Chain A
């Protein structure tokens, strides 16, 4: 069912495209040798090039180009062997050169495609228009001094990838799914950490509305939205605003807007009339960027397995459902964790434990996959204890909780607590005999046709054995004891 917003004049379709700005993971900045790492004292990671000093020249960082190419390959996009840098001219205090070096006319990556999955399981392709490299600006702070603004240039010159989508997105949900998917791919590739809170990934959201079947109407651009949730809210809020404008007989004007998460609305930043004239022209300090096909191929050969492929492989190789596979490949580290656990074991059992008790414990303890509540090795050992019938499934849950609590190995917990499953048929038969003797009335009821009581007897036996009885053997012994 397509997403529609209902107005007074009927239903409206939302049209949305995203420009994602993703900070490149690299040792040094895009055009200088200064450190590109996050943090550091203000202005600690600034070279004379970054500060725009006279006579300083940019030199392209090969690793940043490699990261952009890897990302392009991950987005199944065309890699442009010839690309070029341009200057985007505007004055601002945290833009030291008075221009940003960007790629306007000839981006390093061309058209590509990203697959998103919606709540109802629908799969949809979102087109990628382009990906280009550009410099980040510094940061102006206006709240550090009563009369002055202060500037931190640590971020100035850090490489950014701007990933531009086609206007293929049709709902807030799709916008969110797209952004999450881009982030997932970037993280898999190791080309951007995707931390929206730290600003290393942010999105400009282009929104317009139209009556279904119409041509595109005027769009507005919502700048610098910094979480998936806000992007989804911003799409809806802006679409509602535009519908109201159209329906009141007004006209949506093309402009740049800001999303205010506190009020859940967008506000005008500047209109087209006072938009900057960026005076783009080819950056004369840099030669065109010419890539060798063989180099691109070598990057391609070294790409990690990406989430879509991994998910399909998990389904085939481990025989787990498509949905479960999606959960397990959400993050590279989770997928790796799963594969460590599943290796040489019952892969479905491993998947169930991961999506069940393991994630529950992770959420409950506030831990993450890098610092998991139990290690992959221990979880694997626990599965081994289940498989070789040392413990049964019920006891395993107790052992798991103990592992979370103490960090001890499952084998040690089972031994120290004497949780080993009882497979001694003699002991089980004794326990069965005791239970049947103590519940003679129920035995009579059972024998008169109340079959459901079978479970009651099994439960009582297990209880008497402190849960350690081998379930299959207990079942068999109860049946035998009842004369079945």
Chain B
């Protein structure tokens, strides 16, 4: 269920290393072609074989995208169902407010990216850069091509602008402002959350589609982070009574599938509240279970980070006469958390994909909203399923691919595993 995206890479070679480019091949196009495609007979046969297969797949895909597919299931779905769900209108949140929230979030993300930029990593090759930008760009263009007006496109471009703005701002701030940057980012995250939920978290009950997917994933990773840190510390602590609790929690959760936990959220935890207590709605209950689930995986990621801190650091702290608490807080955790950032992003990507399971318990995230659209009078029983799945798949792919690439870059930059 979780993919341990970067978890192994804490100890091993980065999984997302740039594809190995063959050495040489500096002698113009012909030389490149020869070295990469037609070096010898075996290579030439492979080239022709794979060339044929890839060309066939590319042709079929393009023909489907531009000729056979009936995209009215998306743009007349309507598109807003896939993006924000069918009940979003009932929340009373205006689209301006939603976009404001997105802009603030993008700005904050830009600041984080800008801070990372300071320690410049190895330069990226042109082809790697093209792949990193090209794929997601194609995805975004595909998604935007389903819109009816130009407004969403302009707004999306604006969002990218805010991302760049944030990273520029992060590079330029100095002095007191920079020292408080953590707090400022935190405030911005809060502000963004406030805008998106219309300053009333109970509105989440009416969310659907991509918005629900993202809110659940962000809430899940954010809320599970403290649980994960505490559990990782507990698991590595020298407390003989507490360690088994952490081990029990982590291994129990990791031993069962997420869907069984989600079933528990829907069917069982309602019975665990004291009689007369108010029971959270289905979406908050799902968030609770996703948080518990993710907590165990985050704990393992953080544990990997803790293991990567050299024991000399702790010994140095002891030599200075620092208390164990201070050593953990001031020496171990900052380094461990920094080292686990790429793996945490990997965990977040897993979580984002896992949110699709909410459809099984009847919630209308992106996969769930497909059923609503397919049941509509105009579309029912007309075989629109492939188009709907293709669209949702494209949205997921664009999100996950760009984030995994970002994690990969961060990994090289932070030099995890090489220090």
Is this pair of chains taken from one and the same complex? no
